[in-house]
Amino acid sequence: MLRLGLDSYSLHRTLDALEPYSAVRVFLKKVKELKLDGWQFDPRHLDGWNKDLVREIGAISRGEGLYLELGSGGFEHDHLIGRLEMAAQAGARSLRTFVAPERIAVGAERVREIAGFAVPHLTRLAAAACDLGVPVAVENHEDLTSEELQQMLEAIGSDCVGACLDAANALSVGEDPAECARRLAPCTIACHLKDWSVRVQDGRLERTTRPFGSGDARLDEVFNLLRETRPELPITVEQPYIDPRDPGAPDNEDAAVRQAVEYVRGLESGQP
């Protein structure tokens, strides 16, 4: 049975305007309204990983029967170990992170260098992740190609450090999303499902959210591949409303999320 959840970044226009505890309540209301099975928190909505807030999110998750995934960034062991312990206390099923800045901003050579720095840190962190029962999911965050992430994970060599697959992000590093998903699915611990188009404009990435099924992310193929390869994996929608030509409003954001959730449920039932 499909477990479907939502990443808080999908509602960042709404949530960023609220104080942290209010943002959690508004996010929870939306998750329940959409009858979802779980939620993932972008680090921007964890108030600097405030211990009391994370504890409260964990308590709500248990009380509402929601799967919980928590977001971070960075790869340094000493930076992540405390967050990993807090994630375990909150009952999170995974800790998502990423290792490098955007590839287009710093270049492929620098991204590969940073990935090399990350390996010993994440190898050390893997032991704690196994002990705590919270695997670390490293996202292809518009930095690493799927091959580079796969190689990094193979160098770490632990089932407790895997991928957070965001196949749409493959577009930002010149990859085909379906090929990215095919390579990373076997080691995927968490995922983001979104649809958008990406182009380079004046040396910068220009991203535009597309309704699910109408963008360049090959979303149907990616979804079906994940369901076939990792049927136990929760599918977490991350569909932020982004349009360079239209700053938009919370209504646009809400509509994008609703369409995405309905579309995924249609894919699961065979009626997109």
What is the mean pLDDT of the segment spanning 231-247?
Answer: 92
> How far apart (Å, rounded) are the C-alpha atoms in residues 63 and 132?
21
**At 56, is the pLDDT very low, low, confident or very high (cuts 50, 70, 90)?**
very high
Asked whether residue 211 is assigned to any structural domain, the reply reads no
pLDDT of residue 189: 98
Residue 40: strand pairing partners: 7, 69
Q: Dig out the tokens for 153 from the structure.
A: 């994970």
Number of domains in the chain: 1
What is the mean pLDDT of the segment spanning 2-11?
Answer: 98
pLDDT at 264 over 90: yes
Percentage of residues in the chain having pLDDT higher than 70: 98
pLDDT of residue 272: 59
Asked whether residue 114 is assigned to any structural domain, the reply reads yes
CATH of the domain at 10: 3.20.20.150
Lowest mean pLDDT among 69-73, 240-244, 253-257: 240-244
Structural domain span for residue 16? 4-194+230-237
Asked whether residue 247 is assigned to any structural domain, the reply reads no
pLDDT at 250 over 90: no
What is the mean pLDDT of the segment spanning 170-177?
Answer: 97
Asked whether residue 128 is assigned to any structural domain, the reply reads yes
> How far apart (Å, rounded) are the C-alpha atoms in residues 34 and 45?
20
Asked whether residue 207 is assigned to any structural domain, the reply reads no
pLDDT tens digits along 59-118: 999 999 999 999 999 999 999 999 999 999 999 999 999 999 999 999 999 999 999 999
Lowest mean pLDDT among 11-25, 125-139, 234-248: 234-248
Asked whether residue 115 is assigned to any structural domain, the reply reads yes
32-70 b/e with 16+ CB inside 10 Å = b? Answer: eebebbbbbbbbbbbbebeeebbeebbebbeeeebbbbb
144-174 b/e with 16+ CB inside 10 Å = b? Answer: bbbebbbebbeebebebbbbbbbbbbbbbbe
pLDDT of residue 259: 97
pLDDT of residue 206: 94
Asked whether residue 43 is assigned to any structural domain, the reply reads yes
Asked whether residue 69 is assigned to any structural domain, the reply reads yes
pLDDT of residue 260: 98
